[in-house]
Every structure is written in structure tokens, then in C-alpha cells.
Amino acid sequence: MPDFKRPVFPSRTIDIRKSGAKQGVLATAIIQHCIDQLSTQGGGTVLIPDGDWFTGRISLKSNINLHLSGDARLHFSGDVKDYQPAVFTRSEGIEVISLGACIYAEGQDNIAITGKGTIYGPKQGGTVRSQVMDSIVIEDFVSYKTPVKNRVYDGKNGGYIFLPMLISPINCTRVFIEGVSLENTAFWNIVPIYCDHVIIRGVTVNSVGIPRGDGMDISSSKNVLIEYCTLSCGDDCFTLKAGRGEDGLRVNIPTDHVVIRNCLAIKGHGGVTCGSETAAMIKNVYVHNCVFEKTNVGIRFKTRRPRGGGGDSLYYENIRMYQTGKAFQWDMLGSTVYVGDLAARLPAREIGPLTPAFKT
């Protein structure tokens, strides 16, 4: 693991009010302008002050710290048009061009989201939630043979989209997320994809009752420290992933060197879950000094016959569980809903590139 240090940002600060943002009025362009302007100057802090602020997708740029004051509430739009144009992202382990994330970044270095404010996911009742492609499993909808540039699901003319994550940097280095609370996500909450050197600390997530509302999904990223976080989730809590099936093998970036410590999972499907997207391997993980309360499973390992990869060198120490459904679960076959006949244990299949394995 690298020697993690608190990131440093230039002292200059822009308060979004001074750039014209008004409470209750969509301020996407103003917030984005503050980020872009400050990044061009070498970086600094974009301040979301106390109050209720409304925005569409915003994209962090290098050396920007997006800071939410203690009573700041940042509300994300429920309309697809506020997330256009579509951006490069990965949904459930498959690369697509779609809405990305409410707070997005691509190819940036030294970015942060800090403060004690609350971030609210896309408003209920909008087109974001109604245009989602959820009728079939994603690998049956997006072929791995289709070039990524042609996998465009931007929601124009009422077309399908893939749900935006709440916070998801992709191909970024030195990512720091601290203190914020997350509510009302549409999908997974914090999802570093292809990132290196990530610190997530002191974050609170509430997504209870939200299907697929994972707390955080470390997705094909390396050198990740998660500490002092409290999650109550509608799906898995602390989750490690590495791409799905053929597309995950094509990308072939593992999740590697992850420490999760001093964390609490109050409610959710799994306390710490590896998978089910395992294609490029999840390895060198150390989880310690954590408490799982009413999770359906405490320590969970999921994969499926066509998912590929698996997990190796996974260590758990000093874990306390309370009112857990299953303390430990390995579920490597899944259900027919997702993988058809491959969920049947027998007959044994020939071992191929998609055969996953969990060991050590």
C-alpha cells in the first residue's frame, strides 16, 4: 500500500453564491464553471454553502476540492437532460457511454469531495428513474463485441439510460472523499472505476429500500483505503468488483490492494462483498476492525460461472457481527434468472477463460 496522505489544495476558494448560484434554482452551469475556472488557475476549493442547492451532473477537475458546508444540501436533478451529453462510464462491470454519475470525473488527478453536508441523488419521479434499462441483464443488452464508442445510451428521445451513480470518478488518481452523507441514490453510491490511490473516510450512506443501492463499489481500482464509514444500504455495503464476464476480461483491470478498517455496516445485503463482477480478479484485500449489524450476510463472496476471474488473498480480521443472516456466504452459482442453466450445479462444465475461482 502507498503511504496515504491527506491531499493538499491551493488555498483559493470560490463560493458558488458569488458566481450567481441561488438556492432552489438549478445551478449546474454555475457550479461547473466554478470547477473549471478554479482548475484552470491551478486548483482550490469550490464551496457549497449552507442551504439547498440544485444541480445536474457536475464533473470534478484536477486539484479541485468540492466542499459542502455542514448544513449544505446538494440535490441532484431527476431529469435525464441534466446528465447529457453522455460520458464514458461502466455500469455493472460493462463499459458504456451513458449518464455517468451525479458527481463525475474522468482522467483527473487530486480531486476531493469533503465537508459535512449531504448529497441527494436524482429526484424521485423524473426521467432518470423511468428511462433506465432494467428489463434484461446488462450483458444480454450490451454485447461485449460492440465497440465501446457505439454503446451510447444517452436517453435522448426517451431512449434507455444506465442509472447514474452518485459519485463515480473513472481513470482518476488521488481521489479523496471525506465526511459527506449520501441519500436517495438511484444506483450504487460511491464507485471509483480504474482509479489509483483512493481514500474514502468518514462517509455516511443511507440507501435503505433502494434496489441496487450499494454503499460503495471499488471497481477495478487499486491502492484504496476506506475507514470510519457507516453504511445502511438497499443492497451490498462495502463492495469490491473487477468487471463483468467477457467485457471485464477485455478490460482486464483488477481491484488490488484495498484496506477497509474501522467501519460499520448497519444494514444491507452484504457487509463486505466480493463480486459478483469478478472478471479481472479481486486481490490483496484486508478488512479489519469492522462491525456488521443487521446485514443479510456478513462476509460475502459472489460470482457466477460466466463472470470470470475471482478472488485471491482476501483477509478479514477482528470482525464483529450482530443479528446477521449468514455470517459467511460463498455463492458462486447464482440463479437461473441471471445465468440460466449455468446456475445448475451439475453437470460440471469445462474450465474456460470465464470460469471464476475464489481462493485464500
Partner 1 sequence: MDSADWFIKLTAIPESPLTNVTMDNMQIHTHNFFKASDVDKFIIKNAAISTKDSLISLLDTRHLLFENVQFKVPGDSLTVDIKGPKSADILFKNCEPDHPKGWKTSAYPVQASK
Sheet of strand 165-170: strand arrangement: 58-59, 101-106, 165-170
Distance CA 1, CA 239 (A): 19
Residue closer to partner 1 by CB (options 15, 331) is 331
Distance CA 164, CA 196 (A): 21
Among the listed ranges 22-30, 136-144, 238-246, 344-352, the one in contact with partner 1 (CB under 8 A) is 344-352
CA 335 to chain centre: 24
Residue closer to partner 1 by CB (options 97, 281) is 281
Distance CA 192, CA 215 (A): 12
Q: Does 12 bind partner 1 (CB under 8 A)?
A: no
Q: CA dihedral defined by 142, 148, 154, 155, rounded to 10 degrees?
A: -20
Residue closer to partner 1 by CB (options 73, 305) is 305
Query: What is the phi/psi pair of residue 41, to 5°?
Result: -80, -5
Region 146-165 residues binding partner 1, contact defined as CB under 8 A: none
Parallel/antiparallel/unpaired status of strands 72-76 and 118-120: parallel
Which one among 123, 250, 288, 326 touches partner 1, defined by CB under 8 A?
326
Q: How many CB atoms lie within 10 A of CB 201?
A: 19
Region 18-47 residues binding partner 1, contact defined as CB under 8 A: none
Total residues interacting with partner 1, rule: CB under 8 A:
29
Q: Does 325 bind partner 1 (CB under 8 A)?
A: yes
Q: Does 336 bind partner 1 (CB under 8 A)?
A: no
x-or-dash string of contact with partner 1, 247-286, rule CB under 8 A: ----------------------------------------
Distance CA 280, CA 177 (A): 25
Residue closer to partner 1 by CB (options 121, 356) is 356
* Sequence-ordered list of residues with C-beta below 8 angstroms from that of 112, at least 6 positions apart, any chain: 7, 9, 64, 65, 66, 67, 175, 176, 177, 178
Q: Does 337 bind partner 1 (CB under 8 A)?
A: no
Distance CA 291, CA 263 (A): 6
Q: Does 358 bind partner 1 (CB under 8 A)?
A: yes
Residue 298 Cβ vs partner 1, minimum distance, rounded to whole Å: 7
Q: Does 359 bind partner 1 (CB under 8 A)?
A: yes
For residue 45, the cross-strand partners are: 13, 65
Q: How many CB atoms lie within 10 A of CB 330?
A: 16
Region 123-142 residues binding partner 1, contact defined as CB under 8 A: none
Residue 136 Cβ vs partner 1, minimum distance, rounded to whole Å: 24
Q: Does 324 bind partner 1 (CB under 8 A)?
A: yes
x-or-dash string of contact with partner 1, 293-322, rule CB under 8 A: -----x------x----x---------xxx
Region 91-110 residues binding partner 1, contact defined as CB under 8 A: none
Residue 239 Cβ vs partner 1, minimum distance, rounded to whole Å: 19
Residue 355 Cβ vs partner 1, minimum distance, rounded to whole Å: 5
Which DSSP symbol is given to 147? -
Query: To which H or E segment does residue 141 belong?
Result: helix 138-141
Contacts to partner 1 by CB under 8 A: 298, 305, 310, 320-333, 345-346, 348-351, 355-360
